[in-house]
A and B are shown apart, each in its own frame.
Chain A
């Protein structure tokens, strides 16, 4: 009863057989070992399972792996390039936009899409866009500050100190 699927994840093509009921979040975590995709509420509410499918954010906990057949999926693992963090990751670090880190990958994927669509958002636009995802730690203020900071830094590349500190 398994069915074949073909999914491109973070640029690599995967041909796999899955049970039709297998959720995309479980496929990414269990089959591909992509630990950034977290399981939170399991009802599509909290957004910690957020990944991008063909460039758009989706909830992988209420999506079957089968539904991603033929699609390009991007997870937070794709953001950093080697030692170099993505400017959004760097901004999250600078502004302490995370505490426990559990919502962070999903939040980063949402913010990445936001800045692609709207490179210079207002704080209110950021607030509204990230309201799709729950964060239980920060109260959101520093996440909004981080996105605004990343937008301001846009085009200037990640801050120089990252490479040094993460070595």
Chain B
């Protein structure tokens, strides 16, 4: 297969004024004042409220739904059953394999497939009344056997989740990249393990919500929501709601956290939209916490791995065979893109020459899997690092040394991994050395020895992992031979407007905000372009109807893509400004230069126009300018994915789809109490290389926040279903999110290896510490308990699991 040549290497500025500074965020003042304008803060004239009737059963036929009593309750406006919803709305957009074989609807009509799936919706004058009425809806179910263990779901005779699928396998295929058999034959040692990653989720403190208004007079459907992304794909949501694509407007509101869970979270908006159409009233539907935990779009990965890693006696990793069963729950909205994510960096920072990847995606009676910070690649990181630690132990090598020995060297970039994806740049040893230095690694090894004499179990963990950034959507379809598609551009757009006084406004077109810093990023980038103070830039968010193509945050792409769009729009404004200046300064274009926020004649700073002087001229006095110059000073740029290539027809090479590669080394110091299984994270060292930093403190916040989420994944958080499929973690009493007492004291370090292919050399970093922390914490716990021969093969390593491991039970 031919590999398209990579983009030209960009030149980097010697100095920057704003990119690289930890300025205060533009977003913050409104949030500090409690005026965030979150979706639940929105009130619309005539607005009514919705609540859902949820299934108490994991798997059951819906025999009948009696809504008469609910409809009679004063204040109830409508009760819509699943059967009625079949008429009102078409199935939800589904990117999964064979969507017609696992049809996903707003409300279940014939049968329910997990506890929490909605079977009816109530609209009432208040949320209180709506919830009262849900209690009055009588649903008769005929229970069916449920299956929640993905391996049980594979067995013949297992209950079928979707009959048209004729099994519970939604997707299966074995991919081979490189000469796996040869590389295994040449290895001295094969380490093997079975690993289990249980399901957790983003659990932002704000749930998903929407206020929808349908106007029967105009056919316009407007949906205000805290989820907006993939704007070029919104025609699919329009189809679901049976409205014309040009009459759907999705208006973004700030999100109180997402962590993936508000990525294309269209179900809530679609339910509100359907109910608005049915009632003719604006309808607010905001998930309550139980809705969000049991019936959301986005539970995280739920995988079983059987892995073999082939190494030489010197510790060189040759090849890896990965067999994974992924429990997707009842629906497949996001397909198996999670594994595309994994394949983008499947071999980590190491020179592993070949890979076998055997995937079975299984459906069970659980809530569906979607996105959680890492989108499945964080699980691969954990799996790979668990295997590296195992190899180090077998070979009696220091965990740092086996990693160092296998790192791709700085002069080997751009580096194509066996799957065909490329890593743009990196310096992994520098990151490792910085982390070891900040950790005072030798000190802690000495301390570990000393404490062991006292019967205490100190552990030093290590993870050296990739953070792929800037995805191309081929990862959603290269799974299939047919239908294939061309490479997708996944654009992001910005409009920059210089007003008559020179003040700058930037318009963004994807998700408003979900805890990241799009306004600050854009303002710093515009500050860099025009030499203006970033806080003077005003940032607004457009709805989809008048919007340019946009994809939104996800896969750590947004800052890189916004930087490309800002650069492009700014260049267009500067080009026009130069034309104006040519005329006003009576100079030719080649004699003009952009200096300190204005245009001047080269070598004669006295002959100069500020941006404001040019702006007022273009806005008010166009007739003084040549005919070809129109009024105004505004430009947009739709920035497309910088580098993506087609997979080979035989899928032995998946092409380039995630080329901007970050890296990090995490070293946590933990103490484990062998009696109680309690793990205390004493100190946490994290060094990240996300290329050129825009706002170092903002990135550090992603590192600390993502790491504490990763600690939750590693030690506490799990969505638990019992054997009958009952969902037993329906509140924060049971689903344990780390508090400040479980969070460590951090030491953060940054290394900056610029990307050769992005503006300023920026790489994505939004998924932050969660890409590495589960691997690092598992490694630390195992290191602490190594005198007891404990191997950590399953997360979360809750106290009872740790005690069981120590006692030799698993």
Pick from B35, B202, B737: contact of A134, CB below 8 A: B737
CB distance from A64 to the nearest CB of B (A): 13
If A19-B128, A93-B24 touch, does A140 touch B33 (CB 8 Å cutoff)?
no
Task: Assess whether B507 is interfacial by the CB under 8 Å rule.
Answer: no
1/0 per residue, CB under 8 A from A, across B724-746: the answer is: 00000001110001011101011
Is A102 a contact of B743 with CB atoms below 8 Å?
A: no
Q: What distance in Å separates the Cβ of B727 from its nearest Cβ neighbour in chain A?
A: 15
A27-65 residues at the B interface, CB under 8 angstroms: 29, 34-43, 45-46, 48
Q: Are B204 and A136 in contact (CB under 8 A)?
A: yes
A101 with B31: CB separation less than 8 A: yes
Q: Is B38 within 8 A of A102, CB to CB? A: yes
Which one of B490-498, B670-678, B703-711 is at the A interface?
B703-711
The reply to whether B732 and A141 form a contact with Cβ atoms under 8 Å apart is no
B655 to chain A, nearest CB (A): 34
B282 to chain A minimum Cβ distance, whole angstroms, is: 16
Bound Cα distance from A104 to B257, whole angstroms:
12
Q: How far, in whole Å, are A72 and B203 apart by their CA atoms in the complex? A: 33
Contact of A102 among B205, B288, B708, B769 (CB under 8 A): B205
Q: Which residue of A lies closest to B514 (CB)?
A: A100
Among residues of B, the one whose C-beta sits closest to the C-beta of A83 is: B29
- B79 CB to nearest chain A CB (Å): 22
* B650-685 interface bits toward A, Cβ cutoff 8 Å, 1 = contact, 0 = none: 000000000000000000000000000000000000
Per-residue interface assignment for chain A, residues 141 to 159, with 1 indicating a CB less than 8 Å from any chain B CB and 0 otherwise: 1111000000000000000
Q: Which of A1-9, A113-121, A123-131 contacts B (4 or more CB under 8 A)?
A: A123-131
Cβ A100 vs Cβ B289 within 8 A: no
Query: Using Cβ atoms and an 8 Å threshold, which residues of chain A touch B516?
Result: 99
**A137-B257 contact given A38-B205, A94-B24, A142-B701, CB 8 Å threshold:** yes
Q: How far is the CB of A90 from chain B (nearest CB, A)?
A: 8
Q: How far, in whole Å, are A38 and B41 apart by their CA atoms in the complex?
A: 9
Given contacts A94-B24, A137-B705, contact A43 B257 (CB under 8 A): no
A142 to B696, alpha carbons, bound, how many Å? Answer: 13
Q: How far is the CA of A144 from the CA of B701 in the complex (A)?
A: 13
A77 contact set on B, CB distance < 8 A: 33-34
In the complex, what residues of A have CB within 8 A of residue B697's CB? 95-96, 142
Q: Cα distance A37–B288 when bound, in Å?
A: 16
CB distance from A37 to the nearest CB of B (A): 8
The 8 Å CB contact of B206, one of A79, A96, A102, is A102
Q: Is B36 an interface residue (CB 8 A)?
A: yes
B-chain residues with CB within 8 Å of residue A13 when the two chains form the complex:
none
Total count of chain A residues near the partner, CB < 8 A = 58
Choice from A42, A85, A99 contacting B515 with Cβ under 8 Å: A99
Contacts of A140 in B (CB 8 A): 704, 708, 739-740, 743
**A105 surroundings in chain B (CB, below 8 A):** 34
Q: Within the complex, what minimum Cβ distance (angstroms) separates A107 from chain B?
A: 10
- Which A residues touch B259, using CB under 8 A? 136
Q: Chain A 58-101 against B: per-residue CB contact (8 Å), 1 yes, 0 no?
A: 00000000000000000111011000010001001111101111
- Give B residues with C-beta under 8 Å from A: 22, 24-25, 27-38, 40-41, 128, 202-206, 254-259, 288-289, 513-517, 535, 697-698, 700-701, 703-709, 731-733, 737, 739-741, 743, 745-746, 769
> 3 tightest CB-CB pairs across the interface, nearest first?
A36-B34, A101-B31, A102-B256
17 A-B interface contacts by CB (under 8 A): A37-B34, A41-B289, A42-B288, A43-B733, A80-B33, A85-B33, A96-B697, A100-B255, A100-B515, A101-B30, A104-B34, A127-B740, A136-B737, A139-B701, A139-B709, A141-B704, A141-B745
4 new A-B contacts, CB < 8 A, other than A101-B515, A139-B709, are: A46-B732, A130-B740, A136-B705, A141-B745
